[in-house]
Structure 1
Amino acid sequence: MTAEYTPTDTDGFAWAMQRGMGALAEKMGLELSEFSVDRAVATMPVEGNTQPVGLMHGGAYVVLGESLGSMAANLHAGPGRLAVGVDINATHTRSATSGVVTGVCTPVHLGRSITVHEIVVSDDQGRRCSTIRITNMIKDLPRA
């Protein structure tokens, strides 16, 4: 992740930058640009994340969606708690072939034990390519 944190940022971005998005997200080139409980945004290059025929791989859309949704759920969960994915689905409606795609994650439900997020992934022209929905279960971390 290459986005920069500024000291005036109070929306969870610093938490996300400190935690990181994981090795897979880094390998796929995800770059976080906005992060809060209410909205998380990241981009991912098409190049390197394609099927053999040059179309963005559907699994790459899902990696972007799950990365954003799980991170947002964990921010909502708070200290001493952990959000883990229990369901994810995606509907791909367009195939990006170049440039970057942008995922915008917003909550559908933020509960004490379950969260649901929708992630809309769009291409450089703002056209929706995939709609992803992820459900996370929130549980207490084991005591040390």
Structure 2
Amino acid sequence: MIMDKKAKLDYFNNSVSKDTLMETLSIKYTDVGDDFLVAQMPVNSKVHQPMGLLHGGATVALAESVGSFASNLFIDHNTHEVRGIEISANHLKSKKDGVITATARPIHKGRTTHLWEIKITDEVGNLISLCKLTNIILLKK
């Protein structure tokens, strides 16, 4: 079944994210295209570290969420599944409040691995973090 853009976003936000970390962190998928997926997360006390700044782990959770879902756009769910196997993050700027946006774009989409670059930006386009995620594409058992 081929889903249009709105159906994909509704599916990510409602069906797949319910009762998961994405729901806990208020991650919402906002845009999808042929070679990208975008999600947003509010920055508030739920995602702060003790000093009142955005926690790097919350940023990485956002990056892995958007990168993993992006790989899911390119597989046959009847026969394959996605698992993240490595993520790296460079945190470049701190943030206390507002919204951050994660945009995942492919660097490599092979048969068995996908490599994604995920840029995390603030409301005015400042780069907050730069992440890379490697996903393995597995045959379902």
TM-score bucket of the superposed structures, by smaller chain: 0.7 to 0.9
Kindly report which structure 2 residues correspond to 1:1-144, keeping only aligned pairs within 5 A, or say none. 9=5, 12-13=8-9, 15-17=11-13, 19-21=15-17, 23-47=20-44, 48-79=46-77, 80-142=79-141
How far 1:66 sits from its partner (Å)? 0.2
Which structure 2 segments of 5+ residues have no match?
A: none
Task: Note the alpha carbon deviations across 1:39-69, whole angstroms, 9 max, x for none.
Answer: 1111101102011111100001100000001
Distance (Å, rounded) in 2 between the aligned partners of 1:38 and 1:112:
16
Distance 1:18 1:27, change over 3 A: closer
Distance in 1 separating the partners of 2:96 and 2:74? 34
Give unmatched runs, 5+ long, in structure 1. Answer: 1-6
CA distance in 1, matches of 2:31, 2:17: 13
Deviation of 1:15 after TM superposition, in Å, equals 4.7
- State the alpha-carbon separation in 2 of the partners of residues 128 and 107 from structure 1: 18
Are 1:33 and 1:41, in contact at CA under 8 Å, matched by a contact in 2?
yes
TM-score for the superposition, normalised by structure 2: 0.87
8 Å contact 1:37–1:76 — kept in the other structure? no
SS of residue in 2 equivalent to 1:112: coil
RMSD: 2.0
1:74 deviates by: 1.7
Using the TM superposition, give the Cα deviation of residue 9 of structure 1 relative to its aligned residue in structure 2, in angstroms. 3.1
TM-score, normalised on structure 1?
Answer: 0.86
Identity of aligned residues (%): 33
CA pair 68-102 structure 1, distance change in 2 beyond 3 A: same
- Opposite residue 34 of structure 1, the aligned amino acid is D
Please name the residue that 1:4 is paired with: none
Question: How many residue pairs were aligned?
Answer: 136
Question: Tell me, what secondary structure is at the counterpart of 1:77?
Answer: coil
Q: Give the distance between the partners of 1:17 and 1:110, measured in 2 at CA.
A: 24
